[in-house]
Amino acid sequence: MNSPTPQFVSSRRMSVYDPIHQISMWGEGFKSNGNLSASIPLIDEPDMKLDSQSEDASHGILGEPNKYDQEANKPTDKIQRRLAQNREAARKSRLRKKAYVQQLESSRLKLMQLEQELERARQQGMYIGGGLDSNHLGFAGSVNSGITTFEMEYGHWVNEQNRQITELRRALNAHIGDMELRILVDSMMNHYAEIFRMKFAAAKADVFYVMSGMWKTTAERFFLWIGGFRPSELLKVLGPLIEPLTEQQRLDIYNLGQSCQQAEDALSQGMDKLRQILADSVAAGQFMEGTYIPQMTSAMEKLEALVSFVNQADHIRQQTLQQMSRILTIRQAARCLLALGEYFQRLRALSSLWSNRPREPA
C-alpha cells in the first residue's frame, strides 16, 4: 500500500527531497540532549569556565535557571564532565545542521537543473510524464501495470516519432529518390500501427484512461474524440498542406472525409445510446433504499461495451491513414505524414507553453 506519510513517500518522487528524513534526524539529535535549551551557545563559550567560585556569576551569565544550581554542592568534576558533554553535543549539533543545510543547497541546485532540462525537453516536443495528475501510483493504493507499461512505452514512442519526423524532413529537403522515401513512409506507417496496438492493450487495462486521453498533453486532449483524434477533422487540417494534388485526388480525399464523418457520426450515436443505457441501468429501481448492488452489476456489464467503442474509433483512424496512403503518391504521402507529425508536435509544444505561461499572482 502506498499511503504517503512524511517518512514513507516513494523514493521515485522523493529522491530530491531526502532532507526531510534529515530534518527529523537532526531534530531528534537535538532532543536527545534534553537538558539543553537555547542557551547552548552561551554554554560553549570557549572562555567560559565554571568553578565553584564563579557559579553565581555563571548563573548570571546564563540568565536562566539551570539544573546545575542544584548541584552546587556536588563535586566539580561531575559538573565539568557534564559541561564537556554539553559542549560536545552542541558541536555535533552544529555540524549536523551544517551538513543538513549543505544537502538542502545541493538538492535545490539539482532541482533547478532538472526543471530546466524538463522545460527544454518539453519545448522540443518530447514526451515528459504526461502530467503528474495521470500518475498511476499511489492514490487508490494499487498500480495498474497495464497503464504503467503503456505510459512508459508511449514515452519511447514519442521520442521515436520525433526522430522519424526529423529524418523525413531532412529526406524531403534533400530530394531523395522515391525508393528511399518509401522506406521512410512505410516505417512511419508501421510506427502508427504500433501506437494503435499499444492503445488496444491499454484499453483492456483501463478503458477510461484511454477514453479520456490521459497520456496526451492538454492541447491534444482538447481535440479528443473517443480516445484520440477525429479523422475527418484531421483531414481538413492536412488537406491544404499536401497540395499540389490532382483533381481526382482532391475528390478522393473529399470522399474520404465524408466517409469518415459518416462513420464517426454512427459511432457517436452509438456512444449516446450507451450513455442512455448506462444511465437507465444506474437509475433503475427504487431510490432511497440505500443499496444498489443490482444496478451496479448491470451497469458494470454495460460499461464493457466502452472497450469496443475505443477499438472501433482507432480502427477508423487506422483505415483513414491506410486510405490516404492509397490515394497519394509516395512523395505526397511523405509530406502528409510530415505535416501530421509536426502538427502533433506543435500541439504538444502549445500545451507546454500554455502551462508555463506567466500568471497574475492571486
> Under rule CB under 8 A, which residues in 223-262 are in contact with another protein?
252, 255-256, 259-260, 262
CB of 285 within 8 A of CB of 268? no
CA–CA separation, 99 and 242 (whole Å)? 62
> Going by C-beta distance under 8 Å and a sequence separation of 6 or more, which residues neighbour residue 103?
18, 19, 22
| Interface pattern 313-352 for another protein (x via CB under 8 A) | --xx--xx-xx--x--------------------------
Minimum separation from the CB atom of position 272 to another protein (A): 9
| Interface pattern 280-319 for another protein (x via CB under 8 A) | -------------------------x--xx--x--xx--x
Q: Which is nearer to another protein, 165 or 234 (CB)?
A: 234
How deeply is 185 buried, as exposed, middle or buried, from its count of CB atoms within 10 A (0-12, 13-18, 19+)?
A: buried
CB of 335 within 8 A of CB of 175? no
Minimum separation from the CB atom of position 222 to another protein (A): 25
| Interface pattern 261-280 for another protein (x via CB under 8 A) | -xx-xxx-xxx-xx--x---
Rounded to the nearest 10 degrees, the angle between the axes of helix 293-303 and helix 305-327 is: 10
Q: Which is nearer to another protein, 225 or 309 (CB)?
A: 309
How many residues of this chain interact with another protein, rule: CB under 8 A?
A: 27
**CB hemisphere CA count around 22 (13 angstroms):** 18
Minimum separation from the CB atom of position 234 to another protein (A): 13
Minimum separation from the CB atom of position 318 to another protein (A): 9
Element (H, E) at 178: helix 178-205
CA distances from 311 to 70, 243, 251, 271, 322 (A): 83, 32, 28, 13, 16
Minimum separation from the CB atom of position 327 to another protein (A): 10
What would the grid cell of residue 66 be?
Answer: 539551570
- Which residues form the interface with another protein (CB under 8 A)? 252, 255-256, 259-260, 262-263, 265-267, 269-271, 273-274, 277, 305, 308-309, 312, 315-316, 319-320, 322-323, 326
